[in-house]
């Protein structure tokens, strides 16, 4: 690693100022689990590292029945995994976190870093998008809010400006009769990064048969997390049926844009999208029917 | 650009001058001479460099030393006291949870963090917690035995 | 009552140091004045070096030395060429670079960053040449040559004598084994099967990277600390390179953080010494993880295997062509190819055999020894095909194996007689352990399908070879033990101590293995080939017996009793009417509390057995593995529910150690079966890190691993022991592949067995085609 100056702002404003001041030569440093890798490899050699971990406003998990869940950008994977509040309100998040990376990366790595890095092989974005999460972003000129989907632009590229900081993730309270299932699929070791990740979420009508909202969000099969919109459209507003799920899965498999890499060929990944959507949907449906206020 | 940081290392307070780019592993090994933590993969996968920072396992190969300023650090050297081995150390020996020993300090510290958090983990919990430490000699079954042994013994003691 | 020593899992002598973090590995050690060495590596796969300018590197502040080819051209004091079999490697590239990562220059500097800056300042002008990246390409007529000339050293390994590079080709060596007449064998067979199997390049992935610290003392003596598994080979090679007597080279080895064959033969030592000579200071080189991947690999292989079988399942003919990819340098590849050749007929009686095993050069990182080398490649083909045959003949794979497996007194493919063979026992016990024959009812609505598979093996140990040991008794009767065996984690310190303790009737505490230092310990060929317990263990036993002989002699002289009335037993010397401690004997002998007695033991195996028969191996490793798997037909993912590993250990001196060896090998085997693979793109390794080169974790290993030890004692092994370090790895991949076939009816012939390969094969199966048609 090349040397750099280590800055420790105490407020979001101060951090944004530092980022503005140093421009391209500065980088936000949260858990450092991703950044350390590119810095060691020499791909990225910032002159200034802006550690945001001393900013109290960026921490903490909050829940409000109306607004939903608020995750500070510095909430770690491990906090999501072990927080009683999460286990009560969004158990899906703590369940999936058990399989993310390894214990040490979970202890250090943050939600903000996971999203802002926009690495394609991750798990959280799919689930959070399926839950219609939004993010708050602070810049030198104030805050803005956008849907999480809008954050992702390309491989390792987000819509954040260099002097902006992702401060919070907001996950709305799930509407009644909502169920979500996430399947993390690895094509080698269980602890390998995902080959693909599939989130399926349903919100049902009162009849518990008709799908009001469907979200099919695919990870690792496109430059950004991908909503399989055709699949969603096929499922929405109709009775849940196994045959329709199969068709939707086939749509999803066509909609995604995987590339062949170490973790599988394009053809295989498309096939797995089909299989995993088919597997996740009935579980999400059952969970939605059994909804007890948490997902 | 270097600065002073203060660490509590195995309950002894240490003041060290470090450069921002130095990792906690480098500081612990090169400045403080505690070489139990090893550099293995340098990319947070193998766990040979595991140290406990505020009781939690981290990959010290990728952890900036400046970021540890003011923290409590536990290394393998801090586990045995007065010449007596920690229960986990004893259990790893008894069950044969090591061969070449290069991964062992990392495994033992991770297991300690697990048992401190969760004194009676299920087998599944142990596996998930420990899966991020790699043993290329392949002593996984014995390592699992060792941790279960200590967890079980605790259960008896606490019960 | 005295505790049983042999056969008891005593507390290992190295473990306390290891669990407390106090065991010193090379990177942990402090050396006054040490500076940092770094290596400049070739960015291209094949090219001629037109020019090089290192002057800017020398101007970087803190740089102490730069070593390039200019240091060796016209330098009669150094022979830059080396290599365990052929002298095809050089300290740095001299004329050509032969793989992406080939060392081109070395730098020593006071800090790591200065060394890195200096590397960046070295200018190299390459003329890029066409390159070959696999064995089939390399064999083609007109393929680019990796080496134009190859230097053959005058005194090579005896077992490899006669193997020579084939001129103007990429064939490094060609080993042939014939028996009977294979064409006749096929003609007389009822069925002939022909298949091609492949294995990719993989890497040992010791968690400890290779490291070295070297310096040259005033007067020219070379001192090297190294993470090597065979210090005596390093010593010989350094003595040849730097043209000094062997006595002027001292090699020391601390604890090693995993070897598995990856730390044999010269790696960084020649360059480190060259840098130290110039820098006039100790130089330390520690490889990065990426560099480890570029330093040594396991041979990729392409194996065509053809087998003739009678209707009743009798194997009648076997033709096999093994192409092993040794990369840019021969390393120990010729022996790997030879061992592959020997075992390509499998552990079976086959009257007509024709094996051609080639060690091939390509423009890839050099491949060398990897736990079970040669055999793990050929067994993948041989044992997978056994089940293809069984399926075609509608025979039980277990029965097919038992019908053909070697038994006591059978003749091996080389013509020699096999003795002390516990093979069928291993096969039966492994099969029983997974409940062979018990079928679970198949649930057709579930995508999960279960199956069971078997594989077995025969493997040789390096022969001829040599191990010597010294046991030095101190004034109180305790002993220091001197051995060239390296403690790589296998527990050699403990097992050797146990053997000494048992022989001399001492406690473990009274026995201490001395640190490894070639200045002090007597010669040992190598810590590899599962040879140490058998060879060094026996040498220890002989050294103890020598010592006991001396004690008997002394007692007879000192106490004036006939020698045949002196007994050395249970840690005491008994003469008529008295029982004397060792301490008393030594005290009487030297007239003070001081002095030593030194016993020596030497084991030399030869290519002729004691009865004058040809002997390929001092003993044979026999073993079997059985797996039960569950395959997800929809995704192709496999879970190994149970793996049973059976090995003929001769005698388990430390049963826990044996279990660890078998289990550990099974774990490595699982990684190699399912995901380990170095992936190259035009010669560039694209996954030289543990995120992309995935190793097995606690969650990937079989839910149950059972280790079964068969004990058919070997008369020459210490207390009957044979080796065990590698046996367990070899059958894993074919046993699992066979279990997958049993579960879902698809045959994967190319490792690793990824879910994708299974999925695609299943898809082809549903569509009524085979993979090869597609
Ligand atoms: C070995 C390994 C395995 C992994 N496996 C998985 C896996 O299975 N699943 C998975 O989902 N992920 C996985 N990851 C990725 C992991 O989740 C991320 O590394 C982690 O969440 C990043 O968080 P961080 O705080 O460490 O980010 P940092 O490394 O500190 O930062 C990453 C990037 O985000 C920027 N950044 C950080 N915080 C903010 C912010 N608040 N606002 C704006 N920009 C910011 C930084 O400038 C930097 O560019 C793995 C990582 C590793 C190293």
| Position A85 confidence tier, pLDDT thresholds 50, 70, 90 | very high
Within this chain, do residues C60 and C81 fall inside the same structural domain, yes or no?
yes
Which ligand 1 atom sits closest to the C-alpha of A99?
8
Q: Are residues C662 and C746 in the same domain?
A: yes
Question: Do C543 and C586 belong to one domain?
Answer: yes
- Flag whether pLDDT at B153 surpasses 90: no
Give the distance from residue A102's alpha carbon to the nearest chain B alpha carbon, in angstroms. Answer: 5
Interface test with C, best of A188, A266, A276 (most C CBs within 10 A): A188
- The answer, yes or no, to whether residue A249 has pLDDT greater than 80, is yes
pLDDT 10s digits, B128-148: 999 999 999 999 999 999 999
According to the model, what pLDDT value does residue C244 have? 98
CATH of domain B3-78: 3.10.20.30
- Enumerate residue ranges in chain C where pLDDT < 50: 1, 774
Q: Are residues C554 and C493 in the same domain?
A: yes
Interface of B with C in 88-107 (CB under 8 A): 89, 92-93, 96, 98-105
The C-alpha atoms of residue B98 and residue C285 are separated, in whole angstroms, by 27
Dump pLDDT digits (tens) for A151-195. Answer: 999 999 999 999 999 999 999 999 999 999 999 999 999 999 999
> What is the ipTM, given to two decimal places?
0.97
Q: Domain ends where: C263, C295, C327?
A: C295
Q: Are residues C457 and C471 in the same domain?
A: no
- Cα–Cα distance between B144 and B91 in angstroms, integer? 10
In a domain, C547, yes or no: yes
Domain match, C66 and C100 both: yes
| Ramachandran class of A68: left when φ > 0, alpha when ψ lies in -120 to 50, beta otherwise | left
Whether residue B60 is predicted with pLDDT greater than 80 in this model: the reply is: yes
Same domain as C470, residue C455: no
Taking the Cβ of residue A105 and every Cβ of chain B, the question of whether any pair is shorter than 8 Å is answered with yes
Q: Does residue C40 sit in the same domain as residue C65?
A: yes
Which residues constitute the domain of residue C56? 31-129+204-295
Residues C702 and C573 occupy one common structural domain: no
Q: Which of C687, C696, C759 lies nearest to residue A262, judging by beta carbons?
A: C687
Q: What is the pLDDT of residue C774?
A: 46
**C87, exposed or middle or buried, with CB in 10 Å at 0-12, 13-18, 19+?**
buried
Answer whether B93's CB lies under 8 Å from C12's CB: yes
Last residue of a domain, one of C551, C573, C604: C604
- Gap between the Cα atoms of C39 and C122, Å rounded: 11
Residues having CB within 6 Å of any atom of ligand 1? A 27-35, 73, 100-101, 105, 108-110, 112-114, 116-117, 122-124, 160, 165-166, 193-194; B 44-45; C 691
The total number of structural domains in chain C stands at: 3
Query: Is C707 part of a structural domain of the chain?
Result: yes
Same domain for C581 and C563, yes or no, is yes
- Which pLDDT score is estimated for C772? 54
Q: Which residue has the tokens 């080639």?
A: C358
- Residues β-bridged to residue C215: C223
B154: confidence class by pLDDT, cuts 50, 70, 90: low
Give the count of beta carbons closer than 10 Å to the beta carbon of residue C352.
Answer: 23
CATH code of residue C124: 3.90.1170.50
Which atom of ligand 1 approaches the CA of A37 most closely?
Answer: 53
- Domain at B87-151, CATH from 1.10.1200.10, 1.10.287.110, 1.10.150.120, 1.10.10.10: 1.10.150.120
Segment 262-321 of chain C within 8 Å of chain B by CB: 288-289
Determine the pLDDT at residue C445.
84
Residue A76 Cα to ligand 1 midpoint, Å, equals: 10
Contact C28 B137 (CB under 8 A): no
Q: Residue B112: is its pLDDT beyond 80?
A: yes
Q: What is the pTM of this model?
A: 0.97
C627 and C654 housed in the same domain: yes
Q: Do C719 and C619 share a structural domain?
A: yes
Residue A31 Cα, ligand 1 centroid: separation in angstroms? 7
Confidence of residue A5 (pLDDT cuts 50, 70, 90): very high
CATH code: domain of residue C495: 3.30.365.10
User: From CA C190, how far away is CA C204, in angstroms rounded?
Assistant: 42
> Rounded distance, CA C357 to CA C176, Å?
6
Structural domains of chain A, with CATH = 5-51 (3.30.43.10), 56-171 (3.30.465.10), 178-289 (3.30.390.50)
Place of tokens 């303790």: C501
Q: Of the residues C604, C637, C652, which one is the last residue of a structural domain?
A: C604
Would you say residue C287 lies in a domain?
Answer: yes
Residue C5 lies inside a defined structural domain of this protein: no
The answer to whether residue C501 is domain-embedded is yes
In a domain, C374, yes or no: no
Spatial CB neighbours of C29, under 8 Å, sequence gap ≥ 6: C213, C225, C254
Q: Where are the domains of chain B?
A: 3-78, 87-151
Instruction: Tell which phi-psi region holds residue B80, choosing left (phi > 0), alpha (psi between -120 and 50) or beta.
Output: beta
Pocket test for ligand 1, best of A114, A161, A263 (most atoms within 8 A of CB): A114
Contact residues, B window 54-83, toward C, CB-based 8 Å cutoff: 75-77, 79-80
């Amino acid at each position: 690693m090349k040397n750099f100056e280590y800055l420790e702002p105490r407020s979001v404003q101060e951090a944004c100022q530092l980022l503005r001041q140093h421009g391209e030569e500065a980088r936000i440093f949260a858990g450092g689990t991703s950044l350390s890798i590119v810095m060691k490899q020499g791909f990225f050699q910032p002159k200034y590292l802006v550690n945001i971990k001393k900013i109290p406003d960026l921490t903490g998990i909050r829940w409000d029945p109306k607004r939903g869940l608020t995750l500070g950008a510095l909430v770690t994977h491990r906090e999501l995994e072990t927080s009683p509040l999460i286990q009560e309100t969004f158990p899906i998040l703590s369940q999936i976190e058990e399989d993310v990376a390894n214990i040490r990366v979970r202890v250090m790595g943050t939600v903000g870093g996971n999203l802002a890095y926009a690495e394609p092989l991750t798990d959280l974005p799919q689930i959070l998008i399926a839950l219609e999460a939004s993010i708050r972003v602070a810049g030198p000129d104030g805050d803005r809010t956008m849907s999480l989907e809008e954050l992702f632009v390309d491989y390792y590229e987000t819509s954040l400006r260099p002097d902006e900081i992702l401060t919070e993730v907001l996950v709305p309270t799930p509407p009644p009769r909502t169920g979500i299932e996430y399947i993390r699929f690895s094509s080698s070791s269980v602890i390998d990064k995902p080959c693909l990740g599939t989130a399926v979420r349903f919100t049902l009508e009162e009849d518990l048969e008709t799908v009001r909202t469907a979200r099919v969000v695919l990870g690792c099969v496109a430059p950004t997390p991908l909503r399989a919109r055709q699949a969603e459209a096929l499922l929405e507003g109709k009775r849940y049926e196994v045959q329709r799920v199969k068709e939707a899965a086939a749509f999803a498999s066509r909609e995604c844009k995987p590339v062949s890499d170490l973790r599988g060929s394009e053809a295989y990944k498309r096939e797995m999208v089909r299989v995993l959507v088919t597997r996740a949907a009935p579980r999400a449906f059952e969970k939605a029917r059994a909804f007890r206020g948490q997902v | 650009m270097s600065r002073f940081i203060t660490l509590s290392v195995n309950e002894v307070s240490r003041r060290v001058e470090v450069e921002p780019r130095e990792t906690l592993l480098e500081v612990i090994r090169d400045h403080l001479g505690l070489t139990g933590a090893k550099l293995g993969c340098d990319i947070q996968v193998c766990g040979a460099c595991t140290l406990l920072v505020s009781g939690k396992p981290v990959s010290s190969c990728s952890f900036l030393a400046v970021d540890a300023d003011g923290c409590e650090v536990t290394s393998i050297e801090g586990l045995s006291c007065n010449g007596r081995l920690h229960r986990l150390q004893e259990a790893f020996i008894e069950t044969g949870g090591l061969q070449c020993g290069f991964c062992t300090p990392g495994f033992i510290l991770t297991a300690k963090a697990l048992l401190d958090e969760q004194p009676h983990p299920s087998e599944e919990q142990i596996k998930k917690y420990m899966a991020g430490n790699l043993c290329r000699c392949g002593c996984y079954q014995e390592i699992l035995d060792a941790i279960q042994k200590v967890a079980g013994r605790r259960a008896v003691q606490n019960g | 009552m005295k505790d049983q020593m042999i056969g008891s899992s005593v507390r290992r002598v190295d473990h306390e140091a290891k669990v407390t973090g106090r065991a010193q590995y090379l990177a942990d050690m402090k050396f006054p004045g040490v500076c940092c060495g770094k290596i400049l590596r070739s960015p291209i796969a094949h090219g001629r070096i037109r020019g090089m300018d290192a002057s800017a590197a020398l101007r970087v502040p803190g740089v102490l030395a730069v070593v390039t080819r200019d240091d060796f051209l016209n330098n009669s004091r150094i022979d830059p060429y080396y290599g365990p079999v052929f002298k095809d490697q050089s300290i740095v590239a001299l004329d050509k670079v032969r793989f992406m990562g080939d060392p081109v220059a070395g730098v020593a500097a006071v800090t790591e960053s200065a060394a890195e800056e200096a590397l960046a300042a070295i200018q190299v002008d390459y003329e890029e040449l066409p390159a070959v990246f696999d064995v089939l390409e390399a064999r083609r007529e007109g393929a680019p040559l990796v080496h134009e000339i190859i230097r053959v050293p005058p005194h090579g390994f005896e077992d490899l004598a006669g193997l020579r590079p084939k001129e103007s080709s990429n064939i490094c060596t060609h080993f042939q084994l014939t028996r009977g007449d294979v064409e006749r064998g096929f003609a007389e067979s009822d069925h002939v099967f022909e298949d091609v199997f492949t294995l990719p390049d993989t890497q040992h992935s010791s968690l400890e990277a290779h490291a070295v610290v070297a310096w040259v003392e005033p007067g020219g003596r070379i001192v090297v600390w190294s993470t090597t598994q065979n210090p005596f080979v390093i010593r010989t090679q350094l003595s040849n390179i730097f043209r000094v007597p062997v006595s002027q080279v001292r090699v020391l080895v601390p604890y090693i953080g995993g070897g598995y064959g990856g730390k044999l033969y010269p790696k960084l030592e020649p360059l480190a010494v060259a840098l130290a000579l110039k820098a006039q200071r100790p130089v330390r080189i520690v490889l990065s993880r990426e560099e480890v991947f570029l330093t040594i690999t396991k041979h990729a292989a392409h194996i065509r295997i053809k087998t003739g079988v009678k209707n009743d399942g009798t194997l009648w003919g076997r033709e096999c062509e093994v192409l092993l990819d040794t990369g840019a340098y021969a390393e120990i590849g010729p022996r790997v190819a030879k061992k592959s050749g020997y075992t390509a007929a499998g552990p079976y009686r086959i009257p007509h055999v024709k094996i051609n095993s080639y060690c091939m050069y390509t423009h890839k990182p050099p491949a060398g020894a990897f736990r079970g080398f040669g055999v793990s490649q050929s067994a993948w083909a041989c044992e997978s095909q056994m089940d293809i045959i069984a399926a075609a003949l509608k025979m039980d794979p277990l029965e097919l194996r038992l019908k053909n497996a070697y038994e006591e007194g059978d003749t091996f493919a080389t013509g020699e007689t096999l003795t002390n063979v516990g093979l069928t026992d291993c096969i039966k016990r492994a099969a029983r352990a997974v409940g062979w024959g018990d079928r679970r009812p198949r649930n057709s609505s579930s995508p999960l399908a279960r199956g069971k598979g078997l594989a077995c093996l025969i493997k040789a140990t390096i022969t001829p070879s040599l191990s010597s040991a010294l046991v030095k008794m101190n004034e109180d009767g305790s002993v220091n033990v001197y051995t060239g065996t390296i403690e790589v984690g296998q527990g050699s310190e403990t097992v050797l101590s146990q053997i000494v303790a048992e022989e001399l009737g001492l406690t473990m505490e009274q026995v201490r293995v001395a640190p490894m230092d070639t200045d002090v310990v007597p010669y040992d060929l190598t810590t590899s080939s599962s040879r140490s317990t058998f060879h060094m263990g026996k040498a220890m036993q002989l050294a103890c017996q020598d010592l006991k002989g001396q004690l008997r002699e002394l007692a007879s002289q000192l106490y004036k009793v006939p020698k045949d009335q002196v007994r050395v037993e249970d840690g005491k010397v008994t003469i008529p009417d008295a029982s004397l401690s060792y301490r008393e004997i030594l005290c009487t002998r030297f007239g003070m509390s001081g002095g030593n007695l030194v016993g020596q033991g030497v084991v030399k195996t030869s290519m002729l057995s004691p009865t004058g028969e040809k002997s390929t191996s001092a003993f044979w490793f026999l073993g079997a593995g059985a797996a039960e798997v569950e395959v997800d037909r929809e995704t192709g993912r496999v879970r190994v529910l149970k793996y049973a590993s059976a090995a003929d250990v001769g005698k388990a001196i430390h049963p826990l150690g044996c279990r660890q060896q078998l289990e550990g090998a099974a774990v490595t085997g699982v990684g190699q079966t399912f995901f380990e693979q170095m992936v190259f793109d035009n010669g560039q390794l694209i996954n030289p890190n543990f995120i992309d080169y995935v190793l097995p974790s606690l969650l990937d290993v079989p839910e149950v691993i059972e280790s079964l030890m068969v004990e058919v004692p070997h008369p020459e092994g210490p207390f009957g022991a044979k080796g065990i370090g590698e046996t367990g790895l070899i059958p894993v991949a074919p046993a699992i592949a066979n279990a997958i076939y049993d579960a879902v009816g698809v045959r994967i012939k190319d490792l690793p067995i990824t879910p994708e390969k299974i999925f695609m094969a299943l898809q082809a199966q549903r569509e009524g085609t085979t993979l090869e048609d597609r």
